[in-house]
Structure 1
């Protein structure tokens, strides 16, 4: 009910004010988790296995999920006042995300080792104030990101079916999308496994496979560098590996949990 009104906003300019709260929420969560580890009583002392080969498919799937914002990028760049700065914005965004993911991964591992759960907030002791801040602020993240993530989907549907552009139909469509999300979340309440499945089945396709295929198709027959094409082919093979192996192992995990 809280996130529903944000999906009714069609203007990305207005959605930007909603999304910026998610950025601040991420910073607060990271700061709270690091504070719990360094000064909040948990400490940096846990030790676990540095390499778990059986967990690589799931880990790679979740990592692919972290970079599945490609569907939103054209919409965001298209709404910028100065589109020529789009590449700089993307570079800065990806570098920021990589640093943030690395910090959270390292600190989570050092704090809880192999006992880390699908969400770091599930490991944090609730008796500490900093832990409570992280847990409460995490609730803000989906509220701030959901509308922006759904914007390209609803926009594509409205382009295919012009009738959906009418105000009443558009509001009904966006409300229905939220309802479907709630139903899926209730049917499949396995957060970690479900996120890993989405990362392997869809994330690797969006972030790795399709961009590489499009690149090779666009530059087919041109004199682009061989080394560059070899790198692209390597990324493409990694994407196919994550999509096949990751999907298999993640579906198996979900079936075991049901």
Structure 2
């Protein structure tokens, strides 16, 4: 999922244009790698190990290319920008590109999709935490729903922290726990590996979009593209750094999904850590992951809060309320309403987490629809609008191919994920 509007975790004290290629490389890893990777072995089980590997590879290459399209669009607009005071002239975020392409409607559409995709990532966090904690404490008669409800006051309190820099280290801790979890899973894989006899290469071509949806979800951080590129001291090297990062991440994703499916076969669960035995090492990693995600949940929610609060402060009723309570101080009223809105956003995410059927199906649906629109459809559309007149025929054809395939993938992937009961649990 995108983490637009969040600070770059490894560069908290850096200003734009001062980061080395190594810092940017590390930051790309932090921005992209998330909990979705732990659902890849299940995607390989559903689609088959060859189909899963193809789906992850296609998703990685396509996401990399479309990230470069955003940078190209921003550079083209910067070279032709005017000195007018139009609200769409400043291009810093994904929403700014939407505004430049389609006016306010484009900004609202882009920000709406970002909000929904961030909700998807936040709900996935809650699902992961609830399912892993219930697997650890299964003897205490606490259900998945119980752990989700226990998280509510914690997440509301954390969402009231205004400084992201206080929470950013936990994002790195969560990624470290992700790596440890992957290492333990691979170790377990090697111990359980009994050959390819019962492992299918392709279960069905119809299941390829499911694996692709999970894979697209795994490539989080798309909304950070412009911020990552702008943070580099040598911005011309960004495509090279991004290519290195994506090559490594895609390879790790393919190997992890492959080995996870080989180890557990048809018993592979939608969160592969649930397949691990309840020994001390696996339990420690699960708890570390849950703690890390608990504290990074407000970071995932931050873009939502920024957009909601921005619209809230522009609304007529909010301005009238602040004016009515001006005797108590506008700042107090405004702060109170911000706290209320953040609490309501957390509650919406909790309700959604309790309503979704399962981690695997949910992740694939979010990846196939919202993430596909943000990662493929909109970048290709913006590129055609801003750069179409100067592109070669093959470049326009490629953009149209990405646009059409992205829309088809979103439609078919949504249908496939909605019928997840056919795959079994």
TM-score of the alignment, normalized to the shorter chain, above 0.5 = yes
Question: Displacement, 1:90?
Answer: 5.2
User: Does residue 187 of structure 1 match 2:390?
Assistant: no
State the SS of the aligned residue for 2:167: helix
- Whether the 8 Å contact between 2:376 and 2:403 is mirrored in structure 1 is yes
RMSD of equivalent CA atoms? 3.2
- Determine which of 346, 355, 361 is the counterpart of 1:178: 346
Secondary structure of the structure 2 residue equivalent to 1:117: coil
Correspondence for 2:166: 14
TM-score by length of 2: 0.52
3-state SS of paired residue (2:192):
coil
Change (3 A) 1:20 1:151: same
Is structure 2 residue 220 aligned with structure 1 residue 52? no
Question: Residue 213 of structure 2 contacts residue 368 of structure 2 at CA under 8 Å; is this kept in 1?
Answer: yes
CA distance in 2, matches of 1:145, 1:92: 26
Question: CA separation in 1, counterparts of 2:292 and 2:394?
Answer: 40
Structure 1 alignment gaps of length 5 or more: none
Retained in 1: the 8 A contact 2:160–2:339?
A: yes
Shift of the alpha carbon at 1:155? 0.9
Deviation at 1:77, TM superposition (A): 4.3
Aligned with 2:192 (options 10, 18, 42): 42
TM-score (norm 1): 0.82
| Superposed displacement of residue 102, structure 1 | 2.0
Match of 2:297 in 1: 146
State whether residues 160 and 342 of structure 2, in contact with CA within 8 Å, keep that contact through their aligned partners in structure 1.
Answer: yes
1:4 pairs with one of 156, 159, 162: 156
SS of match in other structure, 1:2: helix
The CA distance in 1 between the partners of 2:252 and 2:169, in whole Å, is: 21
CA distance in 2, matches of 1:91, 1:15: 29
Aligned to 1:226: 393
Gap change, CA 1:78 and 1:91, over 3 Å in 2: closer
Distance across 1 between alignment mates of 2:301 and 2:277: 33
Report if aligned partners of 1:36, 1:131 keep a CA contact under 8 Å in 2: no
- For residues 6-64 of structure 1, the C-alpha deviation after alignment (integer angstroms, 9 at most, x for no partner) is 323333433322211122111111111122223xx434546411112232121111112
- Within 5 Å, give how 1:99-138 maps onto structure 2: 99-126=251-278, 128-138=279-289
Distance in 1 (CA, whole Å) between partners of 2:423 and 2:348 is: 24
Q: Alignment partner for residue 306 of structure 2, among 155, 163, 170?
A: 155
For the structure 1 residues 168 and 210, does the alpha-carbon distance in structure 2 shift closer, same or farther, using more than 3 Å as the test? same
Which stretch shifts more, 102-111 or 160-169? Answer: 160-169
User: For 1:167-216, what per-residue CA distance to the aligned partner results, in whole angstroms no more than 9, with x for missing partners?
Assistant: 22222222211111111111224221111111112111111111111111
Q: Are 1:61 and 2:213 an aligned pair?
A: yes
Whether the 8 Å CA contact 1:116–1:123 is kept in 2: the answer is yes
Residue 252 of structure 1 corresponds to 419
The correspondence for 1:97, drawn from 231, 235, 249, is 249
